[in-house]
Copies of this chain bind each other. A is one copy, B any other.
Amino acid sequence: MKPLRSRYTPTARRRLATDLRQVCMRISRRARFENASELAPHQFSTLVQLEKGLSRPGDIARAECVSAPSMSRTLNKLMDLGFVRRDDDPDDGRAAVMQLTPEGREALKRVRRHRDAWMSGRIEHLTDDELDVLSQAREILARVVDR
Query: Which A residues contact B (CB, under 8 angstroms)?
Result: 1-3, 6-8, 13-14, 16-21, 23-32, 112, 115-116, 118-120, 122-128, 130-131, 133-138, 140-142, 144-145, 147
The answer on a CB contact under 8 Å between A27 and B138 is no
Q: Are A116 and B27 in contact (CB under 8 A)?
A: no
Name A1's contact: one of B6, B27, B127 (CB within 8 Å): B127
- How far in angstroms is the closest Cβ of chain B from A52? 14
Q: A125-B1, A133-B140, A145-B30 are in contact. Are A119 and B23 (CB under 8 A)?
A: no
Q: How many copies does the complex hold?
A: 2
Residues of B near A7 (CB, < 8 A) are: 128
- Residue pair B119, A18 in contact (C-beta under 8 Å): yes
- Tell me, in angstroms, the Cα distance from A142 to B20 when the chains sit together: 9
Among residues of B, the one whose C-beta sits closest to the C-beta of A147 is B122
Please name all residues of chain B whose beta carbon is closer than 8 Å to the beta carbon of A31 when the two chains form the complex. Answer: 21, 24-25
In Å, the complex CA distance between A13 and B125 comes to 11
| Contacts A127-B3, A130-B140; A119 near B30 (Cβ below 8 A) | no
A13 to B7, CA, bound (A): 32
Q: List the B side residues contacting A20 at CB < 8 Å.
A: 27, 119, 123, 134, 137-138
Q: Which of A7, A17, A134, A135 is packed against the most chain B CB atoms within 10 Å?
A: A17
Sample of 24 A–B contacts (CB below 8 Å): A2-B125, A2-B126, A2-B127, A7-B128, A8-B128, A13-B124, A16-B131, A16-B138, A17-B116, A17-B120, A18-B116, A18-B119, A21-B118, A23-B142, A24-B25, A24-B28, A25-B27, A25-B28, A26-B145, A122-B145, A122-B147, A126-B140, A133-B137, A137-B137
